[in-house]
Structure 1
Amino acid sequence: MSTSRIKRFNKLFCELEHCNEDEQRKKIGEMNEIIDGMNTEEFESVFKIKLYENIDKMIEEKKLQLGNATWILKHIGYCKVLKNVWNRFFEYSTLNERFEKMIVEEDKKKEKKNENFLIDLCECHLLLKNGSSYELLSICIPCLLKSASVKEESEETQKEVEIALLALSRVRQDFFIERELYLKKITEIIEHQQKQRNLSRLAYQSVWQFFMNRFFRDRNLKDVIVNELHFAREAARELEELTRNVNLKRKEVERGKETREEFILIRWLETSGYYFLRCKLENKEYDGLINSIVRIYQAAKDNHREISNQCICSLRIAVQRRVVKVEDLLNGGAVDTVLEEMQRPKLNENMAYECFQFLVNVSYRLKGKEKSENDEMKRKAIKMEIFEKMEEEGYEDTITTFHKIFEFLNKKYFNELPFNISDYFVYV
């Protein structure tokens, strides 16, 4: 932890209340740069409830101008998401109460409504808080979608669009939001991006994240997501381009802190897993997405375990939810990938469980007989090919090694793994 960085930030913060508006902006610019350089540990040590209470007090005493307050708070929230920090200090503060009240009051104004100020308030609220109320979401969502729909391509404008969409991606999946509040705008943003490609990678991932979160409570969106807006095709393209920009073979000691591109890559993999989990429409574009995930695993397996682990999780979900044909998983290299993961000398229990679940679900899907003779022959051929791959990879020895920890895995994950798993592919 860099104490000098934290001391510099705290010193600038203490000086804010003694400065005029312009001097405050200059110091906040310096503070934002310091925040960018903080690691997760430093960030969590600085942004506790006391800091938010002090900001609230400074606003109350008119020692911190509201525009400057929203500027630094928005940046704190932006970095909170990028650094994957989940603390809840802001939402327990009086500053949160102040902002919620201001959002409602600003939205109710019939005349002299400051839309830019309302946008800033909404972004701070969604970026800093881990949950929200329906009343506030019904204000924030249309407001931020309007902000994100701006077509200007200047760097400053696109940065604002990115922040708005990142804030929207934080709207939790357990909230039901009426389509009227978002569907038309979201569709327009995605379709415009598919033609113009002017959004940042993080902005584009965020708009899909928001959209996919809505699917949890509105299953009727699946045709829009799968066949109209082509999520699988878009995700595969984004993953391929990100992989070209990220050196996944670089060793951890050489890599340092997680890059922005690695962060976005992980988010795309997580969203792809959620897509497989919720969307049950068959689509030929799944093949490209599976192939992309397999290639990322191969590139990341030795030096970036967070990314390679997420690849295995996404493949397990794909076979478990029956949205991808077993034949396509086999041809796309997913089976080889899982078998390779099982051979790792330091396979942890979480990945062991993911791999076993993948194989169990492949077996379940190949278990019964097909009505058509041709389909039955095809099923047997696929099952034999998978079993032969397992024999080549020392499958029996691997399974025997893990017999001792099956009981532990079952207790930990509350989902039974059969002790006779090694027999699953023997009988064709």
Structure 2
Amino acid sequence: MTTSGTEWFNVLFCELEHCDEDGQKQKIEEMNELMEEMDKEEIEYVYTTELFNKILKMIEEEKLSMENALFLLKHVGYFKMVNFLWTEEYKFSSLSKTYEKMIIDENEKKGEKNEKLLVDICECNALLNNELSSELVSIIVPCLLNVALKKAEDEETQKEVEMALLALSNIPVFYEVKRELLTNKIKEIIKYHQEHRTLTKLAYQSAWEFLIYRLDTDKSYEAIVNELHFAREAARELDELMNTVNWRRAKKAEKEEKETKEELVLLRWLSSIFGFFQTNISTNEEFDGLISSLIQIFRSAKDNHREASNWCIYLFKEATENRAMKVDALLESGAVDNVLVEIQQPTLNERVTFDYLEFFFYILIRSKIKEFDEMEEAKRKIAKKKILEKMEEEGYEDIIASFHETLEFFQRNYDRLFSLNVEDYLVNVFDD
């Protein structure tokens, strides 16, 4: 896909006001197909305040029907989300203010509401806007959860449910959601899928992301997350996606093509797992399988898909720092071995090198502090000895020493609490 894709999108958009409603719908379908082929940079080029303001003007001048405008905008929001585009262009448009008022007015109607209109505008706002008012969230969440509860397995319903769940996954962590909606509706959606497999992979990931976000503000949701077996389900989904991704194509695609939908969903799972690890969750036996899946992803991606492999390193670091995995389990899983090999690669960028160093820093901190890993002293010493032996095999001390001159750079640019003491990255079996 070249920049001609966005140019053709703009040509089709300019032609909309000269078409009747059916002609508009046909052109919008062409625009949606174009967006499906665009990469992140091209979607960003389309996603502008100017576009949104022009759509509002066309609606007001009756040159574009509300139905067709929403049909286009939902897909702009859809492709913004799946391509990890974070921008505030919509928030500053006049269209966003108009739609926000329409949501509130439609919701407050005393008589019969236009449910389809309300759903469409709620989806647009949730997909396009990264910052919503608490009032809007209180209307949007129950509205879209009701859509996501639809259980029909036909393709049209699956698309509706996917769009609603994707929109919900963009509700920021700092907004409170009524507890009964999570303990009842989102649980029902996830459990029904686990039994009947009716959701698309993107829809299922989005349902989990919406729930995982809530953990950030209320740790009590951990019981629901564990009851629904997040670690087990995430591992299973990652394994399936890993087997469908063409990793050799992915290596080529980093320069020549956009990522496939499977790759994008896999990246979204890695992002959700990061949110999960960040919340200092309690470990259980299902975590071993999740870490094992992440190791497999890392091995497949490290030479073929830099973004996915970088996510894995970040997750290993987060799992270690927040005790989502015990040190001896990380050693047995192969995470330490793989990172030791990778840290020696001459082509690593600064950020990845920093994450590698932090990964080892937290492993060594964990191995020194008894309270972090509840194991007998003898077992803890054995685990530390295994780490030391592995590091000696790989020449780890020499590797760390080689970073001595750059530690201050990492502290200055990435984390002011980053240790400048080389000894903090080295194992001493007899230090306590």
Alpha-carbon separation, structure 1, partners of 2:331 and 2:39 = 40
Q: Does 1:231 align with 2:230?
A: yes
Partner of 1:402: 403
Which 5+ residue runs of structure 2 have no aligned equivalent?
A: none
Partner of 1:245: 244
Alpha-carbon separation, structure 2, partners of 1:88 and 1:206 = 21
Alpha-carbon separation, structure 2, partners of 1:125 and 1:276 = 29
Partner of 2:268: 267
CA shift in 2, pair 1:273/1:44, >3 Å: closer
Among candidates 419, 422, 426, match of residue 420 of structure 1 = 422
Alpha-carbon separation, structure 2, partners of 1:187 and 1:375 = 38
Alpha-carbon separation, structure 2, partners of 1:11 and 1:284 = 55
Alpha-carbon separation, structure 1, partners of 2:423 and 2:381 = 18
Partner of 2:92: 92
Alpha-carbon separation, structure 1, partners of 2:374 and 2:174 = 45
- Cα drift, residue 63 of structure 1: 1.6
Q: Are the aligned partners of 2:408 and 2:420 in contact in 1 as well (CA < 8 Å)?
A: no
In the TM superposition, what whole-angstrom CA distance separates every residue of 1:157-203 from its partner, at most 9, and x where no partner exists?
Answer: 10110010000000011212221343310000010111111111100
Q: Does 1:2 align with 2:2?
A: yes
What TM-score, normalized to structure 2?
0.94
In the TM superposition, what whole-angstrom CA distance separates every residue of 1:204-238 from its partner, at most 9, and x where no partner exists?
Answer: 00001000111111111111112x11100000000
Alpha-carbon separation, structure 1, partners of 2:425 and 2:61 = 72
Q: Count how many residue pairs are aligned between Structure 1 and Structure 2.
A: 426
Q: What is the SS of the residue equivalent to 2:317?
A: helix
In the TM superposition, what whole-angstrom CA distance separates every residue of 1:221-279 from its partner, at most 9, and x where no partner exists?
Answer: 111112x1110000000000000001224463356211111111111111112211114
Partner of 2:309: 308
Corresponding letter in the other structure for 2:239: E
Partner of 1:63: 63
Q: What is the SS of the residue equivalent to 1:281?
A: coil
Alpha-carbon separation, structure 2, partners of 1:94 and 1:181 = 31
Partner of 2:37: 37
Partner of 2:151: 151
- Cα drift, residue 21 of structure 1: 1.6
Corresponding letter in the other structure for 2:240: E
Q: What is the SS of the residue equivalent to 2:258?
A: coil
CA shift in 2, pair 1:180/1:251, >3 Å: closer
In the TM superposition, what whole-angstrom CA distance separates every residue of 1:95-138 from its partner, at most 9, and x where no partner exists?
Answer: 11110011111111232211111110000001111110010010
CA shift in 2, pair 1:328/1:106, >3 Å: same
Partner of 1:201: 201
Q: Does 1:380 align with 2:381?
A: yes
CA shift in 2, pair 1:90/1:373, >3 Å: closer
- Cα drift, residue 2 of structure 1: 3.4
Q: Are the aligned partners of 2:361 and 2:425 in contact in 1 as well (CA < 8 Å)?
A: no
Q: Which range moved further: 356-365 or 166-175?
A: 356-365
Corresponding letter in the other structure for 2:395: G
Alpha-carbon separation, structure 1, partners of 2:280 and 2:204 = 20
Counterparts in 2 of 1:322-337, with a 5 A limit? 322-337=323-338
Alpha-carbon separation, structure 1, partners of 2:103 and 2:369 = 57
Corresponding letter in the other structure for 1:415: L
Q: Are the aligned partners of 1:273 and 1:315 in contact in 2 as well (CA < 8 Å)?
A: no
Alpha-carbon separation, structure 2, partners of 1:408 and 1:420 = 14
- Cα drift, residue 420 of structure 1: 2.7
Corresponding letter in the other structure for 2:416: F
Percent of paired sites with the same residue: 47
Alpha-carbon separation, structure 2, partners of 1:357 and 1:203 = 33
Alpha-carbon separation, structure 2, partners of 1:75 and 1:33 = 10
- Cα drift, residue 41 of structure 1: 2.6
What TM-score, normalized to structure 1?
0.95
Alpha-carbon separation, structure 2, partners of 1:106 and 1:294 = 49
Partner of 1:24: 24
Which 5+ residue runs of structure 1 have no aligned equivalent?
A: none
Q: Are the aligned partners of 2:16 and 2:64 in contact in 1 as well (CA < 8 Å)?
A: yes
